[in-house]
Structure 1
């Protein structure tokens, strides 16, 4: 697996191109991502969204039209592709595949699992490819996603963090913002964040 990373826009949202068996998967193409993506793909097969916030989906439609590839988005966040809950005038995009909670897909022969961790958004998911998690805005290095946005849910976030604590095995985490980390490293600090979220409920 080869992973290319480029932070995009004012929010420095990580856009990823993940190459598996010669196939390129574009994860979270944010603001201004189109040129970088076009310059760095050779065999694009799909756009994958971890969730529906504007800074992760901004270039969805433009890239879809330029490359002729489908968009996969968690079903509970699809509404955000047409109407941004954060008040941004995001270019509208249309998902071709609405991903079910914890669904495992096979795209062009590559197994991809969307692990559902709601809280930051209703559909917030980690995209698992082999032993790598593209964690979107659920888990960051030493931190977690915000749970005070419109359509965020603190109680759901607590349950998601508890779910993440119970997952065995180690994964390398590539988050939506900031530097990479590992699941084992984040499991050491997740209990702190569970308490922080609980204090706001």
Structure 2
């Protein structure tokens, strides 16, 4: 039985998630102003997972790693954003213990976690599948997709990622990095609309 707690954190309303299974907690995208809330919620945390490297999703990595002594997982292509603050926001530097490569799968104390690489918004942009729940970061939102006009973004990669997304045959609930939850099937119906903007 999975339990999900969420809080929209910081100026950008970035969703931080705490996923609890069998009394063990996984923290996803602890962004700005997330640390205090997370620390008040968790009793047996086992890992921190980042969907991508943008500062509003990784800001509290450093504080939580220091406080909780648990490993940090992040897509390898975005690790430079955690380490070097390329957007000059003053983001506290953090360092992934596990640099995730592509569609890598992990077993964390009996909990299966599957990263799905969907570059475009960032080079390492990924969604994280736990059970039948997809934490989509800034790849897919309710009725929208992630921006691809930032530094390090790519409209070509976003198109390829959306094509990959359309090939998934499943019935997943989607918890995005901003805004409300949605479902895979609903967003697959919306995806063709975005192709006209991607060239």
TM-score (norm 1): 0.97
- Find the aligned partners of 2:7 and 2:159 in 1 and give their Cα distance: 30
- Find the aligned partners of 2:26 and 2:65 in 1 and give their Cα distance: 12
Is the counterpart of residue 193 in structure 1 residue 194 in structure 2?
yes
- Find the aligned partners of 2:194 and 2:22 in 1 and give their Cα distance: 37
Partner secondary structure for residue 173 of structure 1: strand
Aligned position for 2:7:
6
Aligned position for 1:149:
150
Q: CA RMSD in A?
A: 0.7
Aligned position for 2:86:
85
Give matches, 1:115-194, under 5 Å.
115-194=116-195
Moved over 6 A (4+): none
Is the counterpart of residue 16 in structure 1 residue 11 in structure 2?
no
Partner secondary structure for residue 15 of structure 1: strand
TM-score (norm 2): 0.98
- Provide structure 1 residue ranges, at least 5 long, that are not aligned to the other structure: none
Partner secondary structure for residue 51 of structure 2: coil
- Find the aligned partners of 2:27 and 2:14 in 1 and give their Cα distance: 13
Of the structure 1 ranges 81-90 and 32-41, higher mean CA displacement relative to structure 2 is found in 81-90
- Find the aligned partners of 2:156 and 2:83 in 1 and give their Cα distance: 26
Displacement after TM superposition at 1:84 (Å) = 2.6
Partner secondary structure for residue 196 of structure 1: coil
The aligned length equals 198
What per-residue deviation string (whole Å, max 9, x for no partner) do you get for residues 108-135 of structure 1?
Answer: 1110000000000000000000000000
Partner secondary structure for residue 160 of structure 1: helix
Partner secondary structure for residue 168 of structure 1: coil
Displacement after TM superposition at 1:159 (Å) = 0.3
Aligned position for 2:54:
53
Displacement after TM superposition at 1:88 (Å) = 1.4
Aligned position for 1:63:
64
